[in-house]
Structure 1
Amino acid sequence: MQKRILIVDDEPAIRDMVAFALRKGDYDPVHAGDARQAQAAIADRVPDLILLDWMLPGTSGLELARRWRKDALTREVPIIMLTARGEENDRVGGLEAGVDDYVVKPFSARELLARIRAVLRRAREDDEHGSIAVGALRIDGAAHRVYARVDDREEPVAIGPTEYRLLHFFMTHPERVYTRSQLLDHVWGGSVYVEERTVDVHIRRLRKTLEPARLDPMVQTVRGAGYRFSAAT
């Protein structure tokens, strides 16, 4: 079955151009011009990936991303933000809202398809991971879920797809220090260009995810070196 990709952009010309490129790439594009249409498309069938414009009428793409990351139906759906806002603070804001990647307008169809393939490949690799436990944390790779042991019972942890990949890498490589560059290579892939500050953003989000279970100290900063994951907090 073709991967379904939801295009959320209020400019019909942009949607048509992106949809044409997606069909050429053997994807199944679905259009939405605003938040209401996007929600209707998701209710019809949850997409495999969402291309989300930053500027939308009524509700911004940033707010939509935050909303979808809190919704169990869309929490694990990868999001690529399409934006004319190329400043670092804007890109970091998008990452902190839960998007997995961003493409700055104007962009080429080739670049967009490459980003889509990379994000979908990472999501597919996540599904193939097995189960692993470190301390009070457990990942069920088959179900793509994370659990934390709290007061002698396991509680599910709501986690985004990038934080899931980062946590899985940490849990399979505990007690070792990794630089930002090494984490980018292992978690995002060496063929994808992502700034090193992206790592810091997702580390903060991962800690925030683990904070309700009081497990955020497991993600440790090693000053001048990088990050380490340790059950010995």
Structure 2
Amino acid sequence: MLGNAAVRFANLSQIDSDAATSGTGSAGIEFETKRLVVRVMYVTGSAREINASEGDAGFGRSILIPNTAPNSFWFDARTNIWRGLGPRAYFNASGSTWKSSDPEAAVGTPEALPRQFDVTQISFGASLSYMLDLSRAAGINDQSIHLIFDAGYGLRRVDADDATLIAGALGSNNQTFHGFEASVMMRVNALRVSAGVPIFGGDVAGLSGPKFVLTLGVEGSFYDIVSPSRDRQAFVPGDD
């Protein structure tokens, strides 16, 4: 069983509470063999609210980075086919409450009042992954140091009962966005530091075009179950 806590920044030119997602905490399980690592995580916490004017980057930014909303489900599978190289895929489903208002509306008019509605967000990604075990390469037995590279395809979709509300909030009639994702992660024992560049199509502030995302987090194991019938040296990059 695993525990994870992280905070992500999607706008490094202005690192503040508006540029960062809320800090998230999650718990889940991980299954590991020599060739496969599968993890299922659940982000805990109260429902997330996104409050911004129509067309603001806050709505798009909340779609950009998966697995940041409380009560969110995350599935991730990574394989080692040859010397740390193999395919990887992830899936995330979450829900949020959006509150939007028309920035051009006159004060006191109905359009200037926040409109609240619930949205469902789906994130999917498939990529080629490479994991390098730096501690093993350096002959360090008492530390766990890995460098992980991912590059591939990403998809985001957002739905609500009334599609016109989403169109107003995002400033776009599109509800599905897809494009290229690339990232590199350094894992040093419990510490996780990653940098990514997602490039999604469309014309949505905070989501479309090249973005730089920085993630800082820690992860630890609550409880380990190890089968006595197999070697614990599972999923070792560098093995054929």
TM-score, normalised to structure 1's length? 0.25
Greater share of helix: 1
Greater share of strand: 2
